[in-house]
């Protein structure tokens, strides 16, 4: 793309979703610009990086589960390709995920989860307390049993963002550091972006990848995306403490512990419907640490290195919004709620396909925004 020329595509948002769509679109021969004043500082910064379609699967969310499984299958090749293109490691970890419980209610929930997974033909193995602790010896002896999901992995979201940024730049993507103020609408079509600095950027198509900030942007038609706050902790000194991800039900409360290469451990996360409240609260940190120490007592020895709060882009059915919007020329890549990192490869692929060919792949058809359109009046 020559400086100043209108790109084929402008992407609002330089998080994992926006950058991966940009990279894949550039690989398809499109000229692409990404606009973000702080790329990677939204949900991508907070994400624990779980690639967990099975342990995140909710009842009545089978379509989302299928999309998650399609994406987790793509992860190993995607990680390798991003690492090669960006020249940086992304920290893919394939040691699986262990879900554990403590009291009778937790164990009933674990059994119900296992029955649901078996009904769907998913790969999950119920473990005795002894086998659970053999798998992760740092777990408390009070653990009453576990569920092992070997196919649920994790990746270092921050490392992935850095590698994607390098890969996208190398593929010719232009990064514009400014805040997106509005989608520019011309003749009933999205025609580019207006930037907070006063400039406008014309483009053939606009991709909305602003996560929780996607709804309410001037020019964007109403979208059912809301911020779902998550507080999350990073601990240091955890080298060798855990092999893979541990998720726990601690007397009805959910907590997860995700180890990273080096000595980092992420503990998350609260789920709060409080709008764009950025506060890290004493109660939030207390609950996360209390539950994490209950599950893995050795956590009490670690350094509390970082606390932060960000917003998941929630939708009414917890699934993303992919593809065309009601505004011609505006393409959606948002609403990934708890699954943004997991769904990064599949989102990049289907949205780049739509931009390059005009057709959204079948895999993404259940996730278009018109599923929320009001039903026509009955006659
Ligand atoms: N995917 C985990 C979370 O949203 O907390």
| Cα–Cα distance for residue pair 307/8, rounded to 1 Å | 39
**Mean pLDDT to the nearest integer, 114-127:** 91
Tell me the pLDDT of the chain averaged across its residues: 95
- Encode 215-250: b = buried (16+ Cβ within 10 Å), e = exposed: bebebbeebebbbbbbbbbbbeebeebbebbbbbbb
Question: How far are the Cα atoms of 34, 120, 194, 205, 322 from residue 332, in angstroms, in the given order?
Answer: 14, 29, 17, 11, 5
The enclosing H or E element of 315 equals none
Token pair listed for 238 = 């955890």
- Which residue has its alpha carbon closest to ligand 1 atom 5? 269
The reply to whether ligand 1 has any atom less than 6 angstroms from the CB of 230 is yes
CA of 326 to the centre of ligand 1 (A): 29
Q: What is the pTM of this model?
A: 0.95
**What is the percent of the chain where pLDDT is above 70?**
98
Q: Is the pLDDT of residue 3 over 60?
A: no
Confidence band of 251 (pLDDT split at 50, 70, 90): confident
Question: How far are the Cα atoms of 88, 303, 326 from residue 238, in angstroms, in the given order?
Answer: 23, 9, 48
What do you get for the CA distance between the two ends of the chain, in Å? 52
Q: Is the pLDDT of residue 181 over 60?
A: yes
Q: What is the pLDDT of residue 235?
A: 98
If one compares 376 and 176, the residue with the highest pLDDT of the two is: 176
Q: Is the pLDDT of residue 330 over 80?
A: yes
Domains of the chain, first to last: 9-46+159-225+317-372 (3.50.50.60), 97-150+226-313 (3.30.9.10)
Confidence band of 376 (pLDDT split at 50, 70, 90): low
Residue to mutate (ligand 1; options 232, 256, 257; most atoms within 8 A of CB): 256
Q: What is the pLDDT of residue 252?
A: 73
The reply to whether ligand 1 has any atom less than 6 angstroms from the CB of 267 is no
Q: What is the pLDDT of residue 4?
A: 66
- Which residue has its alpha carbon closest to ligand 1 atom 4? 338
């Amino acid at each position: 793309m020559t400086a100043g020329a209108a790109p084929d595509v402008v992407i609002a948002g330089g998080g994992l979703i926006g950058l991966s769509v940009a990279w894949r679109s550039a690989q398809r021969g499109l000229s692409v610009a990404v606009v973000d004043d702080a790329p990677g500082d939204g949900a991508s910064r907070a994400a624990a990086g779980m690639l967990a379609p099975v342990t995140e699967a909710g009842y009545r969310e089978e379509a989302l589960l299928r999309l998650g499984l399609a994406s987790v299958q793509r992860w190993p090749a995607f990680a390798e390709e991003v690492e090669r293109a960006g020249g940086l490691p992304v920290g893919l970890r394939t040691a699986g995920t262990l879900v554990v419980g403590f009291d009778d209610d937790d164990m009933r929930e674990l059994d119900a989860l296992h029955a649901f997974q078996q009904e769907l033909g998913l790969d999950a193995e119920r473990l005795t307390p002894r086998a659970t602790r053999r798998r992760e010896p740092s777990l408390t002896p009070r653990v009453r049993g576990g569920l092992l999901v070997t196919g649920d992995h994790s990746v270092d979201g921050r490392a992935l963002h850095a590698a994607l940024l390098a890969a996208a730049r190398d593929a010719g993507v232009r990064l514009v550091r400014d805040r997106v103020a509005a989608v520019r609408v011309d003749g009933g079509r999205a025609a580019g972006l207006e930037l907070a600095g006063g400039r406008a950027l014309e483009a053939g198509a606009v991709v909305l990848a602003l996560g929780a900030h996607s709804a309410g942007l001037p020019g964007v038609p109403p979208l059912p995306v809301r911020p779902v706050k998550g507080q999350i902790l990073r601990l240091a000194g955890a080298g060798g403490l855990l092999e893979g991800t541990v998720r726990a039900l601690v007397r009805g409360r959910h907590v997860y512990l995700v180890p990273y290469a080096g000595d980092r451990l992420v503990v998350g996360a609260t789920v709060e419907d409080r709008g764009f409240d950025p506060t890290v609260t004493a109660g939030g940190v207390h609950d996360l640490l209390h539950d994490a120490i209950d599950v893995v007592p050795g956590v009490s020895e670690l350094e509390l290195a970082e606390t932060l709060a960000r917003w998941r882009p929630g939708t009414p059915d917890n699934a993303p919004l992919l593809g065309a919007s009601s505004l011609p020329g505006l393409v959606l890549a948002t609403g990934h709620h708890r699954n943004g990192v997991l769904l990064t490869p599949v989102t990049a692929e289907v949205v780049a396909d739509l931009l390059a060919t005009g057709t959204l792949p079948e895999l993404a058809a259940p996730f278009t925004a018109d599923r929320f359109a009001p039903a026509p009046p009955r006659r």
